[in-house]
Every structure is written in structure tokens, then in C-alpha cells.
Amino acid sequence: MTETLVANGATRAVAVAWDADQAVTALYSANYRSLVRLAVLLVRDVGTAEEVVQDAFIAMHGGWQRLRDPDKALAYLRQAVVNKSRSVLRHRAVVEKYAPKGLPDAPSAENGAIVEFERAAVVKALSTLPRRQREALVLRYYADLSEAEIAHAMGISRGAVKSHTARGMTALRGVLEQLS
């Protein structure tokens, strides 16, 4: 770093060997905000950007003696901020890639009890239906068979399957309305 000295009204640039504390303090005062703005644009988070800039200043302070040209300290800081921002982004990508998947929402115990109650009511109502209607409904809605498959399983025509299913649904609806 160079420092401009004013002596007897004349200004002249004099190279002064600053120690790391003075240099980093001067750079921090003059450039902290602009470096944070740079980091925010890269990492999209103010808190993380501030950490990145602080880490860059700490690294520069620790390596001040190795800095070949102290006049390029700001360029060094900018590059350090960019590199550290890249590291943060890579770390985020890895964390997101291997983040544990959330468990799917499980139904509440109350919901399970209601479903069980409704199932018991349907089973009870099914038991009141004639055998053919009950078989047609169970094969259609619990076994999820097509009309053709039900006809084959029951040994009846598809038309009879439709008839038994329609009559069974009407009867089942009436029984369930009486139970509730």
C-alpha cells in the first residue's frame, strides 16, 4: 500500500510499509460494503455473504506477508470473495443433493379411526345384501375387476353384473343411511 503524505503544503506519494493490521483495517473500512454486495449477488444470502467477506479479510490478513504487490490487495480480496462464494454454492449443492427426503404426511390417528369405523360400517352393510349383489360390489370396488372379469368370475353375463352392481349400490346406500 502507498500512503500520500502532506508536508508543508506539498503532496507526494511515499511508499510506506504497512503492517497487516493497518492495511486490512484500511481496506475493510473502504471496501467492506462493496465486497458484501458482490458476495450477495453470488450467494443470494446476506448473512452468508457477510461470512464470505469476513473469511476473505481473515485470509488476507494471515497471508499479508506473502502478498507480492500490496497495491493489488483489493483485487486479491475480490478474487477471494468470488472463490469463497463458489465454495459456498458447491457446498449448498452437495447438501441439497444428499438431504434426507422428508417423510410423506401420515394420516392422523383420528383419521385412521374414522376410516376404520367407516370400513366396519360398509362391511356390516354389505353383509345385509343378497349374495350376488354383495359379490358383484366386492369384485368391482375391492378387487377392482372389470365387468367382463366379474362376469367370468361369477359365471354370469355382463348385463347381469351391471344389474347386480346397480341394485347392490342402491341397497348399500340405503343401509348406510339407516346406520348413520
pLDDT tens-digit readout, 42-53: 999 999 999 999
Average pLDDT over residues 58-82: 91
Closest listed residue to residue 13, CA positions, set 2, 26, 23 = 2
Question: Quick one: what percent of the chain has pLDDT higher than 90?
Answer: 61
Confidence at 27, pLDDT banded by 50, 70, 90: very high
For all residues of the chain together, what is the average pLDDT? 86
* SS percent in the chain: helix, strand, coil, step 5: 75, 5, 20
Q: Against a cut of 0.95, is the pTM above it?
A: no
pLDDT in the model for residue 2: 43
The model's confidence at residue 17, banded by pLDDT at 50, 70 and 90, is low
Task: Check if the beta carbon of residue 1 is closer than 8 Å to that of residue 26.
Answer: yes
Angle at 51 between CA 70 and CA 24, to 5 degrees: 25
For residue 147, give Cα distances in angstroms to 13, 28, 153, 159, 173: 97, 79, 10, 9, 21
Report the pLDDT averaged over residues 154-170.
94
- Provide CB contacts within 8 A for 149, sequence distance 6+: 139
